[in-house]
Amino acid sequence: MTTSTDTELFATIRAQLYTAVVGDILDTLGRTHQFLPPEIRPLRPEMKLVGRAMPSVTSEVHGPQKKPFGFLTEALDQLEPGEVYITPRIVQPVALWGEILTATSQQRGAVGAVVDGYYRDTAQVLERDFPVFGWGTYAQDSSVRTVVSDYRVPVRVGGVLVTPGDLIIGDIDGVLVVPQEVEAEVIEAALAKASTENVVCKAIDAGMSATEAFATYGVL
Ligand SMILES: O=C([O-])CC(=O)C(=O)O
Ligand SMILES: [Mg+2]
């Protein structure tokens, strides 16, 4: 769930931060495995994602199920404003996201989806301008191949632990997870680093060498 503080926080992150600088700060805190797998890309390069994780557990199945899609619709229907639907990979290549999931998410005020797999209905999702991050387009249906077995529980996506409410940041360079317990510290330090990086670039644009700039400002 988002709070008024979240609204401000998300706006600040959107305006001033990007995954590279946030990842650098996580590294300095010893949180060195917070980026999701590099195959997870934005549907459109300029798409940015900032929100709170609503993890969903997708399990692999084979053939018709007693409850088709498992708890997929229930998981979607309880999304809160500011949340990001996020789900880990399965072995079979299937679309884990599409138009109807997008429509429901938008209706609920969710701000994006991250799937460690494919998405489909791409033309329609693009039309809806909803930030979806995944491997790419592939229309093989998830029905008869997956069920959602649980949601709003911790999951691992590409080895990264995602706990409900964790901050998810995505852009053209990928997606990372900021654990809530270090969130305030990470965002404050990332804002400082981003502003120093701007100073460094201006100095280099004005003729300073990379070596001198690194010696002077200590960031790269
Ligand atoms: O069936 C699915 O999993 C995805 C889909 O087509 C939709 O959301 O419209
Ligand atoms: Mg569809």
Residue/partner pairs of 140-143 with CB below 8 Å, 24 or more apart: 140/92, 140/93, 140/94, 140/95, 141/94, 141/95, 142/58, 142/69, 142/94, 142/95, 142/96, 143/68, 143/69
Q: Would residue 220 count as lying in a domain?
A: no
Residues near ion ligand 2 (CB < 5 Å) are 98-99, 121
CATH code: domain of residue 142: 3.50.30.40
pLDDT at position 214 is 96
What is residue 205's predicted lDDT score, i.e. its pLDDT? 96
Q: Is residue 205 part of a domain?
A: no
Pocket perturbation via mutation, ligand 1, pick of 65, 127, 141 by most ligand atoms within 8 A of CB: 141
Domain tally, the chain: 1
Range of the domain at 148: 4-180
In a domain, 202, yes or no: no
pLDDT for residue 108: 98
Residue 214 lies in a domain: no
Residue 54 belongs to some domain of the structure: yes
23 is in an annotated binding site: no
What's residue 1's pLDDT? 54
The ligand placed nearest to the CA atom of residue 119 is: 1
206 domain residue, yes or no: no
Read off the pTM.
0.95
**145 CB within 6 A, ligand 1:** no
| Local structure of 21: helix, strand or coil | helix
Give the helix ranges, DSSP H, for the chain: 4-16, 19-28, 72-77, 99-108, 122-128, 183-205, 210-217
Low-confidence stretches of the chain (pLDDT < 50) are: none
210 within a domain of the structure (yes/no): no
